[in-house]
Amino acid sequence: MRPIFVLVAAATTLGLLAACSTPVAAPASTTSTTTTSTVATSTTTQAPADGSATHPFAFGHTWGGPGTLAVTVGVPAGYTPSGAFAPGSFPRAVVLDIEVANPADSPPLPAAAIIFQATAGNTTAEQMKDPTNGVGRPEASIEPGKSLKWKAAFIVPATPVDLTVQVKLVYSSVPAYFAGKI
């Protein structure tokens, strides 16, 4: 019976992802709300899922919207890892607040099904895991109608560069991109 449940959950998730796989940007008339975190203050605009957007989104915007999966990648802020994080020396790091909202009519979504990758300039930005500071993807599932927040940090060059964060679900071939100068 368990394989049937997994198959039904996977099929439902694929249907949900197909419905929200077209990224959207906020039209100029969309209302903004301010979200404050311990990392940075950002203005987020939740865009309707009407398929009218182009990539990349600015940091602080939401891909998706009500009734579909919604992913918000916050504005990058400087980050100093804890003493427990010691991969060697690196020029600098940035941290971003991540929030993923799962629609009420969807099955639970494992956070592990959400892939975050980044490039800084023309190089891959290594993602940091620093549990002491609460940085890194959680092991939880996002229940229907709920959202999950966490922090993601990346090692970036010392000089200002363009940072691009790609968000993709393992079940979908359509990623969303968030970008800006850091």
Please state the φ and ψ torsions of residue 113, each to the nearest 5 degrees.
-85, 0
Q: What is the pLDDT of residue 170?
A: 87
Report helix, strand or coil for 10.
helix
Mean pLDDT computed over every residue of the chain: 75
Is the separation of the CB atoms in 76 and 92 below 8 Å? no
Range list of β-strands (E), the chain: 33-36, 41-44, 57-58, 62-64, 70-73, 77-78, 92-101, 109-110, 114-120, 123-125, 127-128, 141-142, 147-156, 162-169, 176-181
Mean pLDDT of 55-74: 90
Note the pTM of the prediction, 2 decimals. 0.70
Structure tokens at 96: 């971003």
Q: What is the pLDDT of residue 54?
A: 64
Per-residue pLDDT at 28 exceeds 70: no
Dist. CA 172–CA 182, nearest whole Å: 28
Q: What is the pLDDT of residue 53?
A: 54
What is the H or E stretch that residue 131 is in? none
pLDDT band at 24 (very low <50, low <70, confident <90, very high): very low
Per-residue pLDDT at 20 exceeds 50: no
Per-residue pLDDT at 94 exceeds 90: yes
Structural domains of the chain in order of their starting residue, each with its CATH number: 2-181 (2.60.40.1240)
